Structure 1
Amino acid sequence: MHSFGQSQPDSIRIFDGDFKHAPDVIAYPERSDQINAIYDWAGGAGAAIVPYGGGSSVVGGVTPDIEGHYKGTVMVNMTKLNKVLEVDETSRAALIQGGAKGPELENQLKPYNLTLRHFPQSFEHSTLGGWIATRSGGHFATLYTHIDDLVENITSITPSGCFESRRLPGSGSGPSPDRFIMGTEGALGIITESWVRLQGRPVFKLTAGFRFAKFLDASLAVRSISQSGLFPANVRIVDATELQVNGAGDGTYTLMVVSFESSDHSVEPWMKRAEECCLDHGGIIDIDWRENPDTNLKGAVGAWRDAFIRMPYNRENLTPRGIISDTFETAITWDKFEEFYWAIKDATQQAIRDVTGQNGAVSCRFSHAYPDGPAPYFAFHCTGKPGGMLEQWKAIKYAASEALIKNGGTITHHHAVGRDHQKWYEKQRPKLFGHILRDAKNRLDPDGIMNPGVVV
């Protein structure tokens, strides 16, 4: 399992029997101090190190495809460091080891009636350290969208020593040490533990569904909600193509799912205002939340929910059937969104035609929304050529990524950089910032052994 992540290229390589990049050594540290010994051994052996949590990367972040002078690869599996070490009920925070997977940490917090409330689609398989290292985005669509917002401090073991920030609720003291480590994807060190902010487990929940004739009409409703001062747990729109591809719609309408939840008080006033925003922009109630408190289990909303849960597991069935299926996500300001939306869809569809000779399915949904812009999440599906699917995927991915950067978007909103996005991340970031990252890499990882090829 340590030879691949969960990306489309990984799936193709597995199906093709391509295991040439398997790691040479897999280490399972049980204590943080053992990581230093692993660094010393790898440095002496001339090996690269790839930190490994749950192996859920969809951008080549844990694929041990290491180029250069390295004599081998050591995969450091962190999953034995999986404990909640301390819970501060007064401040509602917990100290959690970096190898704890989503269900493990939530089960340990449950007796306190507290939750981290961070649920990426990879929740079952990914770890807290991986979330922080990749700036993971959770399922909740507004307010605390990324793990960034939930981190109080970070302890990271680097080849040059231990990096431990002060635990604080907030600070204006210079550049943030935590923000510097977040998103470095194992290129500077391994995150061993972190104090994270917790919330009360929700008691009051409501979900509503609305249908729109056009995706762009639904996007206006999302903008209205996101700029109204409301912070729904979910404000997701899914276009007609994606609904139809996943068996959740007939291809004639866009679906919006709106959810609110609270551990303290009723959310009905919030839902009423969100409903007004939807109706003002042409939305039609799919199922009335007043009559159906469990709306997320019924109608088009329920069908989409079931399809969403199945999505990550479908690829193992699609690849053997010659179907190239992948997703990419981004973010853009509202003033640019409509033109951006068409540009990305057109560029992706044209690339599919160029490499397959026929049209594919290109769809869009919103995963997150901010007052100043949405996070569009695109998907494409097309028929591949046996033996040539990897090259076809690369051509489509290249065209889509070029279009994202050319039209002012980010190369990723929450999937991370990995190896697949590195080229475009370098185009997106300021040139001087790239120099700063390389200088930091040289100081913290002087032998350059930490996850070569990502971020830096």
Structure 2
Amino acid sequence: MTIDRQTLRWNGWGPAKQDNPLPDGAPQWGWIRETLGLSVLPSTPAKRLSDITLTPCHLSADDIESFEKIVGNNQVRTDDYERAFHARGKSYHDLLYVRAGDLAVAPDGVIYPRSSAEVQQLITLCADRNIAIVPFGGGSSVVGGVNAHARNAEDKLVTIDTTLMDKILEIDRVSMTARIEAGIYGPALEEKLQAQGLTLGHYPQSFQFSTLGGWVAARGAGQQSNRYGKAEKWLVSTRLATPAGTWSTEETPASAAGPNLNQIVAGSEGTLGIICDATVKIHAIPAAKDYRGYLFKNFEAGVDVAREINHAGIPVAMVRLSDAPETYFFQAFSATGAGGLKSKLQNLFLKWKGLADNPCLMLIGIEGEKETVSWARERTEAICKKGGALAIGSGAGDKWYHGRFNSPYARDPMMDRGVGIDTLETSTHWSNIMNLHQKVTSAIEAAIEDTKAEPAAKGIVMGHVGHSYPDGASLYFTFVFPRDLKDEVGQWQKIKRAASDAILANGGTISHHHGVGTDHTPWMEEEKGSMGLSLLRTLKEKLDPKGIMNPGKLLP
């Protein structure tokens, strides 16, 4: 296990012992309170685990003994901490439950196998005894993808945690592929690859606390996906343990022998089996990196430039365009308490350039050989300037790069003060980006307005273009709002429903890279169609006839 579970927060993000990014007295609190239109920020701490009573474990002594015969005595856990840690993922919705002490969906036990052979034996045993299974890696799902939902009140359910399976099994330097066990965390994976001058290049925001298997299972995307690809692009082959036996997918670089079955595994979210290892495409560590910022007068101008960069075929690693609210929020949030002459001069300069009203920040990242990076920087800067952008240098890019995993750490202290913060994402064609952005933003704003607890309260809805392609891009939304402490889950459900309905009604996908889990299943039939869902259900019935694998996820 690359990270000791006991060192992590069971009801929040990151290590249990970490500096609070928003301590009491931090200047950001006053700005947050005023921006959300609140008279006070209430104290809403999470319940301690010692004050919570978990539901009884349904496993029999014989069940536990049988599991221990496969993995060993110390690898089957039924203590409160392990069950609480594995009860849910890390979404805002999940945290509303666990922070309130509602652990009704905690697994009966947590099992830590060390090999694919042990995983297969565990699944076979569970299938024989009709015990449900939730596959678990880092547990960073934000859509209910690892929640321990049993099939019924009498159901037995175990979580199989793969994080002891963290080895690099094979590296093929000629073909530039590596076969890696699925339970390895992002930092450990990159440390081992980079020690040999190699990288996968997959850096999602959850990188520090997510695993290779989870990235594949949810069709995840890293921040530099323009260069390295989403999970389904860098995946070469997988090996799954399923109730029907072990399944290894094809691993040739290309084939016309029917559909590529790797694309069924990518995005299967543990409903077909447990990914034990994966062969992936790897790269040499880039010789040079360049991240820099540009300011646009409005969001549409930035979208046009992002599209042109993609159509020009320039080898960028990332093109990220924040809308005006996101640009303002993060600048104001980080600058609170600052000011003085430097801030005033910056504002005067932006006003002189016509960028003072609603500037939108674009960050462009380029990685590769030094000559390639230099050429791509010149080309992208020329396109940005042609589109009316102000080049602001590498400072903004470097600041983002070095703090790119920090945002989730601010959520826990905000939830301690009655503030809700959640995210959702989608993708669509370039011709529909502006329409979808406006419709989803308006839907979230209206839902927050309809669910506010105080008359003067208001929310903040912001978004950015993240992962981009020749034919379109993803849109990622973050919204901050005062919580309705009398109906927190109901408030979230109304906001989520409004946003998701707007996405499907206006040409977006229900998820670009977070996955489906439980949260998005109500929209799957509209997304896939009845025939598509029928095909997916048939496949699951073939591999998992008793429906023990990750019940309640992906398929409505």
**TM band (smaller chain):** over 0.9
Number of aligned positions between the proteins: 446
Q: How does 1:235-274 map onto structure 2 within 5 Å?
A: 235-246=319-330, 247-248=333-334, 252-263=358-369, 265-274=371-380
Asked if 1:214 is matched to 2:298, the reply is: yes
Query: CA separation of 1:141/1:166 partners in 2, compared to 1, >3 Å: closer, same or farther?
Result: closer
Of 396-405 and 314-323, deviating more is 314-323
- Answer whether contact 1:114 1:200 (CA < 8 A) is retained: yes
Could you tell me how far apart the structure 2 residues matched to 1:14 and 1:447 are?
Answer: 29
Gaps of 5+ in 2: 1-84, 336-346, 348-356
TM-score (norm 2): 0.77
Which of 512, 520, 523 does residue 421 from structure 1 map onto?
Answer: 520
Alignment-derived partner of residue 310 in structure 1 = 406
Say if 2:531 is the partner of 1:432.
yes
Letter in 2 for 1:394: Q
In structure 2, how many angstroms separate the alpha carbons of the residues matched to 1:186 and 1:70?
22
The counterpart of 1:449, out of the listed 548, 551, 556, is: 548
CA 1:154/1:167 → structure 2, altered by over 3 Å: closer, same or farther? same
**Structure 1 residue 441, shift from structure 2 partner:** 0.8
2 CA distance for matches of 1:152 and 1:70? 40
Matched, 1:286 2:392: yes
Of residues 27, 52, 65 in structure 1, which corresponds to 2:136?
52
For the pair 1:370 / 2:454, whether they are aligned, the reply is no
Alignment of 1:319 onto 2:415: yes
Conservation of the 8 A alpha-carbon contact between 1:53 and 1:99:
yes
- Secondary structure of 1:108 counterpart: helix
1:125 to 204, 209, 216: 209
Superposed CA offset, 1:331-350 (max 9, x none) = 01111222221111111100
> After the TM superposition, which of the residue ranges 336-345 and 411-420 deviates more from structure 2?
336-345
434, 459, 465: which is aligned to 1:360?
459
- Give the match's secondary structure for 1:267: helix
Q: Within 2, Cα distance between the matches of 1:113 and 1:183?
A: 29
Q: What does residue 330 of structure 1 align with? A: 426
Contact 1:2–1:23 (CA under 8 A) maintained in structure 2 = yes
Paired with 1:263 and 1:128, the residues of 2 have a C-alpha distance of 26
Q: Distance in 2 between matches of 1:342 and 1:423?
A: 23
Q: Once the 2 structures are TM-superposed, how far is the Cα of residue 222 of structure 1 from its aligned partner?
A: 0.6
For 1:256 and 1:2, how far apart are their aligned partners in 2? Answer: 38
Q: Distance in 2 between matches of 1:307 and 1:118?
A: 16
Choose which of 16, 38, 51 in structure 1 pairs with 2:100.
16
Q: Which amino acid aligns with 1:427?
A: E
Amino acid at match of 1:346: S
Q: Please say if residues 221 and 278 of structure 1, whose CA atoms lie closer than 8 Å, have aligned partners that are also in contact.
A: yes
**Any residues of structure 2 matched to 1:12-411 within 5 Å, and which?**
12-68=96-152, 71-246=155-330, 247-248=333-334, 252-263=358-369, 265-287=371-393, 295=394, 298=395, 300-305=396-401, 308-356=404-452, 358-411=457-510
Q: CA deviation at 1:301?
A: 3.7
Deviations 1:46-66 (A, max 9, x none): 321000000000000001123
Cα distance in 2 between the residues matched to 1:69 and 1:172: 46
- Quote how far apart the aligned CAs of 1:264 are: 6.7
Q: CA deviation at 1:359?
A: 2.8
Deviations 1:80-118 (A, max 9, x none): 111001111111111101111111121221232111111
TM-score by length of 1: 0.94
The CA distance in 2 between the partners of 1:433 and 1:265, in whole Å, is 46
Q: Is the 8 A contact 1:248 1:303 kept in 2?
A: no
Whole-Å separation in 1 of the counterparts to 2:239 and 2:497: 36
1:6 corresponds in structure 2 to 90
Secondary structure in 1 aligned to 2:474? strand
Aligned residue for 1:331, secondary structure, equals: strand
1:175 partner letter: P
Compute the displacement of 1:142 (Å).
1.6
Larger Rg: 2
Aligned residue for 1:223, secondary structure, equals: helix
User: How far apart are the structure 1 equivalents of 2:369 and 2:177?
Assistant: 16
SS of residue paired to 1:184: coil
Q: Which deviates more from structure 2 when the two are superposed, residues 379-388 or residues 407-416?
A: 379-388
- C-alpha distance in 1, partners of 2:292/2:225? 15
Contact 2:202 2:225 in 1 (8 A): no
Counterpart residue type for residue 383 of structure 1: P
Q: Compute the displacement of 1:44 (Å).
A: 4.2
Of 246-255 and 128-137, more deviation after overlay is shown by 246-255
| Cα shift at 1:322 | 1.2
Q: Structure 2 vs 1, CA of residues 309 and 329 (structure 1 numbering), >3 Å: closer, same or farther?
A: same
CA contact (8 A) 2:133 2:550 kept: yes
Q: Secondary structure in 1 aligned to 2:428? A: coil
Q: Tell me the amino acid that sits aligned with residue 410 of structure 2.
A: N
Over aligned residues, Cα RMSD in angstroms?
1.7
Q: Quick check: 141-150 or 107-116, which moved more?
A: 141-150
Aligned-pair CA distance for 1:303: 4.6
Amino acid at match of 1:389: E
Give how far 1:252 is off.
Answer: 4.1
Q: Which amino acid aligns with 1:445?
A: D
What SS does structure 2 have at the residue aligned with 1:330? strand
Structure 1 residue identity aligned to 2:359? Y
- Alpha-carbon distance in structure 1 between the residues aligned to 2:387 and 2:151: 52
Measure, in 1, the Cα distance between the counterparts of 2:201 and 2:498: 35
**Letter aligned with residue 514 of structure 2:** H
User: What is the letter of the counterpart of residue 314 of structure 1?
Assistant: A
C-alpha distance after superposition, 1:356-377 (max 9, x if no partner): 1543101111111111112111
